[in-house]
């Protein structure tokens, strides 16, 4: 219905299509590559050696093994905890609160806080891993400031609390993204709307909750989707910090996937793991999509 | 009309900033300690030796390569993204949302699976070089770029475009004079996101580079890992400070754009 | 998909044109940063001697294995490549490496190579690469902690019971890490080589390869055997049943540094590791003097389990190699580069300067080499060594072994760990390629 009223669009369909062409080509390439990754999950393709050249189709064998062999289900549970606490509770909520709070503050405070969270985001993963394991080690900052001065024995955090530590490290590292996206989204809420709400006597909390949140609903849904995907597949920080251990305490699906695909060299099984991950996040994203479609 | 933060908010923010920044003490103390051991300790000596080491060798060339790859990827992603996201936002193409979300989901498939076909395609088209890295990263970014940009274009009120059309503006003028400036914050975010993603990318440049001089800083960082896994922490920390600095600089250059929103634009058209 | 890649030699040529290659390189070489000293001096000599240009590409250790596998399968690899010895058989089986037999026959220095070490770089009786160095494995121990625990030194355990006994005493004396036995997936190959395989070799009689992962005459993997059960039980005793060692060193962000720091701070009792520790103790960049080292640590060979008929001491060796790409344009020149790098003068200087264990008698029997007491003594262990099971699939089996030790660390029973391992082997290689020893 919009279209009919927009002659600058309808009159230029050819130009618009031309504009979409490069993206269509590149997306075609992407679909081609991912089709291979899909197909691999039904093969016994290996990373090196003979089976990397002469692989064969094995049907649903790889998918059966997800449930009949040790590893997948345990890792799935670890991943759910990691994603929920570090991405959804940590990064997303914290990022939004920061964006909403800092929106109205003087630029100096804003600048300092922004730099702080941006530093984590920009630090290479491997360095962030070293930094966090040094911070949580028995001679590290947390023990030296908060444990030893109070007369306790230094705590071996990575040994005793591995999953909470990598979760916190990931909040520290990733909040910048949610913050940036929410800041930009809040900026796109027209000022008149907020002012009008103010004139009508809305409290700051109401202005955020009833006026701004519904408007940036698509951004919230998008952000949830993005960070869920990224955190589900996020690998370098955990791998460098604990390698999935001790034992299998921090073996998220991404680490499990890496171990199966690269250490064990079974790309077929690895692809099956990732297809399963995709299905799980696919279901989650249906939920996010509802959030997008049903504005109050 | 800006509300001043309450004292409580200010204290909470300051507290958060301190917590956020405190782990960096390890980074800084080791970087300026020529005898660094990777432990958190007050250095017995202080000096720039590590930084000297970090900028020696190929660092200059690697820095340039990083800039080329990161800026190239970000710019290409944004150009391709804008020219497709605008029609996607304005034309009622059935199932466009579901399609974009599916694309984003597909990006979950591991780079392990995508890497091999990607490598062979690049080899066949003669793109085992930096242009190849840029194109490959743009392809991998595109689902995210498209979805984000479309969302931002969606928030631009169509009435402004109508008004411009009535005043005789062409499509190109409408896009460049109205839509893009009004989505400046979003575009800046997408550009910055692609930039940092490419800046930190390790595996693709490592595998695509045919000559020593084509490696970016993300590969150079690993010079810190020496024989028998012994790590030169002084080099590692100093190099990573130098490595993160340009990206932070870029953030500050873009920050005004990311936060301007409506301020610089004639809202009434 | 990979098959289509091979059709594209034409594309490979256009690729060469497109890539920004500074000079017209006649021969190319790819290697890891840590071997720069050996290879770069060889390249210099080669360029001076032949007047050719070498296109060298030096990579960090991170991602090296992935890159070499991709490069070789896509036909974009360098002519000469540095390869971890355990990958040689896989790559040779896939046809990516050039067999060197004929060319080696015409090289006068080939006769000095130790036969046992060449096996590591061979596939089906044919040599595909030349080793750069080798290593031996042993138990290091902290002298002051042994004194504290009342254990006589020099320590010479006769069997596993002696080790566990010493570890118990160390634990009672308050040593934080009494017996650091590499375990888990983060330790990667170290868990297999420094841990499981060293124990396995002494866990049963050598007849019929009952003390190995592979039955070599039939190329069948051993999915269950008394030896495997004994080794898994050793892990179970150390990490779970007797709690003789906390697990965390195996998962440190920087395992090497964490272990060395523990040793330097007298927190460690016994460390299962290898000969490289001698050049790298405490701080690889500034190693302590021989006297300082001898005052703080000693070493002893790994004893057998003590079961009847088992070996008294065990050892297994690994190392890196240089091999030639089967698709190299000019294999003569590539081989010339290889032999220039391995030319006695260049090779010997590097071996001595870097405390490597020699792979050739003309180096290991030289006066300079035998003058180093550690190298001389450790080379004694190399006389009775063995290599990994160099048939395709080793890398997979090794990863499965690492996962088994991870599970054991988590408290999984020996029985269940064996079952998981056996099933995974059958998944990978088929029922007919996996056997069980009663």
| Per-residue pLDDT at C289 | 81
Q: Is B71 exposed, middle or buried (0-12, 13-18, 19+ CB in 10 A)?
A: middle
Closest by Cβ to A180, choosing from B23, B174, B189: B189
Q: Is the pLDDT score of A275 beyond 80?
A: yes
pLDDT in tens, A21-80: 999 999 999 898 888 888 889 998 887 767 777 788 999 999 999 998 888 999 999 999
Residue of B nearest to A280 (CA): B105
Q: Tell me if A246 and C403 make a contact (CB, 8 A cut-off).
A: no
Strand-pair category, C320-324 with C80-84: antiparallel
Checking if the pLDDT of A255 tops 50, the result is: yes
- Whole-angstrom distance, CA of residue C235 vs CA of residue C247: 11
Residue of chain A with shortest Cα separation from B84: A20
Kindly report the pTM of this predicted structure.
Answer: 0.85
- Tell me what the pLDDT averaged over chain A comes to: 85
The confidence score (pLDDT) of residue B1 equals 37
Chain C residues within 8 A of A48 when measuring between CB atoms: 69, 87, 90-91, 94, 395
Contact B155, A188 (CB under 8 A): yes
Confidence of residue B268 (pLDDT cuts 50, 70, 90): very low
pLDDT at B227: 61
Band of residue C8 on the pLDDT scale cut at 50, 70, 90: very low
CATH of the domain at B90: 1.10.3720.10
What was the pLDDT predicted at C106? 92
Least confident of A103-117, C66-80, C300-314: A103-117
Between C11-15, C322-326, C338-342, C354-358, the lowest mean confidence (pLDDT) is in C11-15
Q: CA C196, CA B222: separation in Å to the nearest integer? A: 30
pLDDT at C17 exceeding the cut of 60: no
Model confidence at A208: pLDDT above 90:
no
DSSP category for residue B43: -
Neighbours of chain B (3+ CB pairs under 8 A): A, C
At residue C14, the pLDDT reads 34
Chain C residues with CB inside 8 Å of B222's CB?
Answer: 33, 60-62
More reliable by pLDDT, B214 or C232: C232
- pLDDT, position C234: 97
Domains and CATH numbers, chain C: 2-135+318-382 (3.40.190.10), 137-316+393-436 (3.40.190.10)
Alpha helices in B48-129 (DSSP H): 49-55, 59-90, 96-106, 111-124
> What is the secondary structure of C220-257 as a DSSP string?
EEEEE-HHHHHHHHHHHIIIIIS--S-SGGGG-TTHHH
Q: Would you call B124 an interface residue with chain C, using a CB distance cutoff of 8 Å? A: yes
Closest residue, chain B, to A275 (C-alpha): B109
* Cβ atoms A184, A99 nearer than 8 A: no
Distance from CA of B97 to the nearest CA of A (A): 9
- Domain membership of residue B175 (yes or no) is yes
Distance in angstroms (rounded) separating the CA atoms of residues A274 and A253: 8
What are the pLDDT digits (tens) for C370-415? 888 888 888 888 878 888 887 888 889 999 999 999 999 989 999 9
Per residue in C126-176, pLDDT (tens digit) is 999 999 998 899 999 999 999 999 999 899 999 999 999 999 999 999 999
Band the pLDDT of A125: cuts 50, 70, 90: confident
**Binary contact (A248, C410; C-beta < 8 A):** yes
State the pLDDT at residue B2: 44
Give which of A126, A178, A221, A263 to mutate to test B binding, by max B Cβ within 10 Å: A126
**Helical (H) or strand (E) element with A224:** helix A217-233
> ipTM beyond 0.85?
no
Rounded to whole angstroms, how far apart are CA atoms C407 and C129? 35
Confidence (pLDDT) at A214: 81
Pair of tokens at residue A272: 């099956």
Which candidate, C273, C326, C298, places its Cα nearest to that of C146?
C298
| The pLDDT of residue C304 is above 90 | yes
Strand partners, C270: C141, C179
| pLDDT confidence bin for C316, thresholds 50/70/90 | very high
Confidence of residue C10 (pLDDT cuts 50, 70, 90): very low
Please report the beta strands in chain B, taking only residues with DSSP state E, as ranges in sequence order: none
Helix axes A125-135, B233-260, angle to 10 degrees: 110
Confidence at residue B261, expressed as pLDDT on a 0 to 100 scale: 43
| pLDDT tier for residue B73 given thresholds of 50, 70 and 90 | very high
* Least confidently predicted of C106-115, C193-202, C247-256, C426-435: C247-256
What does the pLDDT average to over A189-216?
Answer: 79
Q: Which residues of C touch A264 (CB under 8 A)?
A: 395-396, 399-400, 403, 428
- Mean pLDDT (whole number) for A245-253: 88
- Whole-angstrom distance, CA of residue C379 vs CA of residue C275: 10
What is the percentage of chain C residues whose pLDDT exceeds 90?
58
User: Distance (Å) from the C-alpha of residue A246 to the closest C-alpha of chain C?
Assistant: 6
Q: CB A50 to CB C94 under 8 A? A: yes
Say what the pLDDT of residue C277 is. Answer: 85
pLDDT of residue A33: 85
DSSP annotation string for A26-94 = HHHHHHHHHHHHHHHTTB--BSSSGGGTS--B-TTHHHHHHHHSTTHHHHHHHHHHHIIIIIIIIIIIH
CB-CB under 8 Å, C254 with A130: yes
Nearest chain B Cα distance for residue C31, angstroms: 11
Over the stretch B220-246, which tens digit does the pLDDT of each residue have? Answer: 888 777 666 678 888 888 998 898 888
Establish if B205 belongs to a structural domain.
yes
Look at residue B166 and tell me whether its pLDDT is greater than 90. Answer: no
Residues of B in contact with A182 (CB under 8 A): none
Contact between A52 and C69 using a beta-carbon 8 Å cutoff: yes
Tell me the pLDDT tens digit for each residue of C239-289: 999 999 998 899 888 888 888 888 888 999 999 999 888 877 766 667 778
Chains that touch C (3 or more CB pairs under 8 A): A, B
SS3 call for A195: helix
Split at pLDDT 50, 70, 90, the class of B5 is low
pLDDT, mean of residues B15-27: 86
Please determine, for residue B211, whether its predicted confidence score (pLDDT) is greater than 50: yes
Residue B186 sits in which domain range? 63-214
Per-residue pLDDT, C408 = 94
Q: Is the pLDDT of residue A142 over 90?
A: no
d(CA C277, CA B201): 33
Residue C127, phi then psi, degrees to nearest 5: -80, 125
The least confident of A228-232, B173-177, B263-267, C389-393 is B263-267
Kindly state the tokens that stand for C55.
Answer: 């296109």
pLDDT in tens, B244-253: 888 888 888 8
Say if the Cβ atoms of B120 and C74 lie within 8 Å: yes
- Judge whether B150 lies within some domain: yes
- The shortest CB-CB distance from C21 to any of B117, B211, B219 is to B211
**Cα C180 to Cα C178: distance, rounded to the nearest angstrom:** 7
Lowest mean pLDDT segment, chosen from A283-292, C189-198, C268-277: A283-292
pLDDT at A73: 93
Classify residue B6: in a domain, yes or no: no
CA distance C18 to C6: 19
Q: Who has greater pLDDT, A187 or C19?
A: A187
The pLDDT of residue C214 is above 90: yes
Q: What's residue B78's pLDDT?
A: 95
Q: How far apart are CA A47 and CA A267, in angstroms?
A: 6
Residue B125 domain flag: yes
Of C187, C86, C160, nearest to C405 (Cα)?
Answer: C187
User: Is B136 a domain residue?
Assistant: yes
- Which pLDDT score, from 0 to 100, does residue C192 have? 94
Kindly tell me if the per-residue pLDDT of C48 is higher than 90.
Answer: yes
Band (pLDDT 50/70/90 cuts) for residue B113 is: low
Q: Give the containing element (helix H, strand E) for C177.
A: strand C177-180
In this prediction, residue A82 carries a pLDDT of 95
Q: DSSP readout, A99-140?
A: HHHHTTS-HHHHHHHHHHHHHHHHS-HHHHHHHHHHHTSTTS
Range of weakest confidence among B56-70, B225-239, B252-266: B252-266
Tell me how close the Cα of C243 comes to any Cα of chain A, in angstroms. 14
The pLDDT value given to residue C2? 34
Which of C70, C72, C94, C185 is most worth mutating to test chain A (most A CB atoms within 10 A of its CB)?
C185
Q: Do C2 and B202 touch (CB under 8 A)?
A: no
- Domain architecture of chain A: domains with CATH: 41-293 (1.10.3720.10)
Closest alpha carbon within chain A to C4: A53
Total structural domains in chain B? 1
């Amino acid at each position: 219905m919009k279209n009919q009223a927009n002659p600058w669009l309808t009159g230029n369909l050819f130009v618009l299509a031309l504009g979409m062409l490069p993206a269509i080509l590149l997306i075609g390439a992407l679909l081609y590559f991912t089709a291979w990754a899909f197909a691999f999950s039904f093969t016994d393709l290996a990373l090196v050696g003979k089976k990397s050249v002469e692989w064969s189709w094995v049907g649903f064998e790889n998918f059966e093994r997800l449930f009949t062999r040790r590893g997948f289900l345990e890792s799935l549970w670890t991943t759910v905890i990691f994603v929920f606490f570090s991405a959804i509770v940590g990064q997303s909520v914290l990022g939004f609160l920061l964006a909403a709070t800092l929106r109205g503050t003087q630029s100096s405070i804003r600048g300092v806080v922004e730099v702080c969270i941006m530093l984590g985001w920009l630090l290479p993963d491997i360095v962030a891993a070293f930094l966090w394991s040094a911070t949580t080690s028995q001679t590290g900052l947390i023990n030296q400031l908060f444990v030893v001065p109070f007369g306790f024995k230094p705590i071996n955090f990575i040994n005793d609390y591995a999953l909470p530590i990598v979760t916190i490290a990931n909040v520290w590292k990733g909040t910048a993204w949610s913050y940036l996206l929410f800041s930009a989204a809040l900026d796109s809420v027209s000022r008149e709307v907020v002012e009008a709400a103010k004139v009508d006597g809305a409290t700051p909390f109401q202005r955020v909750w009833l006026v701004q949140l519904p408007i940036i609903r698509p951004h919230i849904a998008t952000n949830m989707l993005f960070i869920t995907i990224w955190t589900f597949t996020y690998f370098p920080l955990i791998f460098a910090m604990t390698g999935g251990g001790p034992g299998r305490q921090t073996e998220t699906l991404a680490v499990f996937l890496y171990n199966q695909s690269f250490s064990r060299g079974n790309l077929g099984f690895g692809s099956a793991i990732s297809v399963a991950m995709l299905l799980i996040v696919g279901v989650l994203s249906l939920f996010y999509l509802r959030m997008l479609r049903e504005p109050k | 009309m800006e509300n001043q933060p309450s004292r409580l908010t200010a204290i909470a923010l300051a507290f958060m900033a301190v917590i956020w920044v405190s782990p960096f003490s390890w980074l800084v103390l080791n970087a300026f300690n020529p005898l660094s051991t990777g432990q958190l300790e007050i250095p017995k000596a202080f000096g720039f030796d590590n930084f000297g080491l970090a900028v020696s060798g190929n660092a200059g060339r690697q820095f340039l390569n990083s800039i080329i790859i990161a800026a190239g990827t970000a710019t290409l992603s944004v150009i391709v993204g804008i020219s497709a996201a605008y029609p996607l936002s304005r034309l009622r193409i059935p199932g466009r949302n579901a399609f974009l979300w599916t694309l984003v989901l597909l990006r979950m498939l591991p780079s392990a699976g995508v890497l091999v076909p990607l490598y062979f395609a690049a080899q066949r088209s003669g793109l085992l070089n930096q242009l190849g890295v840029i194109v490959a990263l743009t392809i991998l970014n595109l689902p995210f770029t498209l979805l984000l940009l479309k969302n931002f274009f969606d928030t631009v009120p169509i009435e402004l475009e109508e008004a411009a059309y009535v005043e005789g503006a062409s499509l190109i003028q409408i896009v460049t004079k109205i839509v893009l400036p009004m989505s400046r914050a979003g575009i800046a975010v997408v550009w910055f996101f692609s930039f940092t993603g490419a800046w930190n990318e390790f595996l693709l440049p490592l595998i695509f580079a045919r000559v020593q001089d084509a490696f970016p800083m993300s590969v150079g960082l690993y010079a810190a890992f020496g024989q028998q896994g012994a790590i030169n922490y002084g080099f590692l920390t100093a190099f990573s400070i130098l490595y993160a600095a340009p990206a932070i600089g870029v953030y500050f250059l873009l920050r005004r754009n990311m936060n301007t929103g409506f301020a610089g634009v004639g809202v009434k058209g | 998909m990979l098959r289509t890649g091979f059709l594209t030699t034409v594309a490979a040529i256009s690729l060469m044109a497109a890539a920004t290659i500074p000079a017209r390189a006649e021969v190319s070489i790819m290697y890891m940063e840590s071997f720069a000293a050996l290879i770069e001096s060889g390249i210099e000599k080669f360029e001076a001697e032949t007047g050719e240009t070498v296109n060298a590409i030096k990579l960090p250790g991170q991602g090296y294995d992935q890159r070499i596998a991709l490069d070789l399968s896509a036909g974009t690899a360098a002519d000469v490549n540095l390869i971890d010895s355990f990958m040689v058989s896989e790559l040779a089986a896939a046809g990516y490496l050039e067999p060197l037999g004929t060319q080696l026959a015409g090289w006068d220095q080939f006769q000095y190579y130790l036969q046992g070490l060449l096996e590591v770089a061979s596939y089906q009786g044919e040599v595909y690469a030349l080793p750069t160095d080798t290593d031996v494995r042993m138990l290091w121990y902290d002298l002051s902690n042994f004194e504290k625990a009342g254990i006589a030194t020099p320590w010479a355990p006769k069997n596993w019971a002696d080790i566990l006994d010493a570890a118990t005493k160390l634990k009672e004396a308050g040593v934080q890490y009494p017996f650091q036995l590499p375990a888990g997936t983060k330790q990667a190959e170290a868990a297999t080589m420094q841990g499981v395989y060293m124990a396995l070799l002494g866990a049963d009689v050598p007849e019929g390869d009952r003390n190995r992962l592979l039955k070599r005459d039939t190329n069948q993997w051993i999915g269950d055997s008394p030896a495997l059960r004994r080794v898994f039980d050793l892990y179970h005793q150390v990490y779970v049943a007797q709690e003789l060692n906390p697990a965390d060193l195996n998962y440190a962000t920087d395992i090497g540094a964490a272990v060395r720091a523990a040793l330097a701070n007298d927190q460690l009792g016994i460390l299962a590791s290898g000969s490289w520790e001698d050049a790298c103790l405490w701080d690889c960049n500034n190693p302590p003097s021989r006297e300082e080292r001898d005052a703080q640590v000693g070493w002893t060979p790994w004893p057998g389990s003590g079961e009847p008929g088992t070996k008294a001491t065990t050892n297994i060796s690994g190392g890196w190699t240089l091999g030639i790409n089967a698709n190299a344009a000019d294999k003569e020149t590539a081989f010339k580069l290889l032999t220039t790098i391995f030319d006695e003068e260049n090779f010997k200087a590097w071996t001595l300067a870097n405390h490597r264990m020699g792979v050739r008698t003309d180096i290991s029997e030289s006066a300079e080499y035998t003058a180093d007491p550690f190298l001389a003594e450790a080379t004694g262990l190399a006389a009775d060594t063995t290599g990994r099971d160099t048939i395709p699939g080793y890398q997979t089996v090794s990863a499965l072994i690492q996962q088994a030790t991870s599970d054991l660390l988590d408290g999984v029973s020996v029985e269940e760990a064996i079952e998981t391992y056996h099933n995974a082997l059958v998944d990978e290689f088929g029922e007919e390629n996996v056997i069980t020893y009663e």
